[in-house]
Amino acid sequence: MSDAAQPTAAEVRAAAEAVKTALDRHLAAVERRSGEDDPAVSEAFNQLAAAAEAYDELLYDRYDEVTPFEIPGAEEALPPYAGPEEPNAISVLIRRDYTVAEPHRLLAQAQRVEAAEYETAADDDVAGTVPGALGVLFGEFEPDEIASRHKEFGLEEGDSTLWVTAAEEPPEAGEWLAAPFEHIDRQQVVCRFDVSAVFDDDASVDEDDPDDLEFLVAGAQDEEAAVAGAGDEDEDGEEPERLDAGR
């Protein structure tokens, strides 16, 4: 940015004062809150977030410095639940990200499945490419089994999220198949669970302290179960025997 376009020191100072004012308003709203979903608190929060973001940008543009805090954007937070009190149907939306860490392992596993299940494997060689191998493996194994055995398939886990939405009535058969992840009403989300490496540094847990263990998230318990069910390499580096995939 050129010097002519840079904010002045006075503009940065004014933005800092705006943060202080917004902080005071937020605290006052919290102290006067009328309930868990008090709109005054939400409005004060949004004003504080906007003031902090403006200050952070001006501070960086003028002094090449940043603030030490982060405020989640409004789009990251779910609105208050407004769905049915006694839903007759739910939908579970799951996203799991993976890195193809060992393509040769992925291909080898897919080729084993192809050779065992399909007589035309030698001619078609569907599992000879990474996209083809993914199609074979995700067609043969349930997603939960792949999640629990991801290392066996040459995959490395990334972020994952699970959303549970509620509805008065179940959708008609085939109604959403053309666009399964569109038109999600965020006010119908009953709960969501996120797993990400960015949470690893939030807090350290002392495994010898029972009080700390109470705060282990369910995702950590799921990871333990996944590790227990995973066919990882043994100490000699040899690949474990492939388990039967019952479908």
Task: Measure CA 27 to chain center.
Answer: 30
Cβ-based neighbours of 149, under 8 Å, separated by 6 or more = 141, 229, 230, 231, 243
pLDDT tens readout for residues 223-242? 444 434 444 444 444 444 44
Residue spans of alpha helices (H) in 101-142? 103-117, 121-124, 130-140
**DSSP category for residue 75:** G
pLDDT band at 245 (very low <50, low <70, confident <90, very high): very low
pLDDT tens readout for residues 151-201? 999 999 999 999 999 999 999 999 999 999 888 888 899 998 888 887 765
Q: Could you tell me if 62 and 3 are in contact, meaning their C-beta atoms sit under 8 angstroms apart?
A: no
pLDDT band at 128 (very low <50, low <70, confident <90, very high): confident
Strand order in the sheet with 89-100: 89-100, 155-167, 189-195
Q: Is residue 205 scored above 60 in pLDDT?
A: no
pTM: 0.52
What is the average pLDDT score of the chain?
Answer: 79
For residues 212 and 56, which has the higher predicted lDDT (pLDDT)? 56
Structure-token pair, residue 56: 């952070």
Distance CA 175, CA 180 (A): 9
Residue 200: what residue type? Answer: D
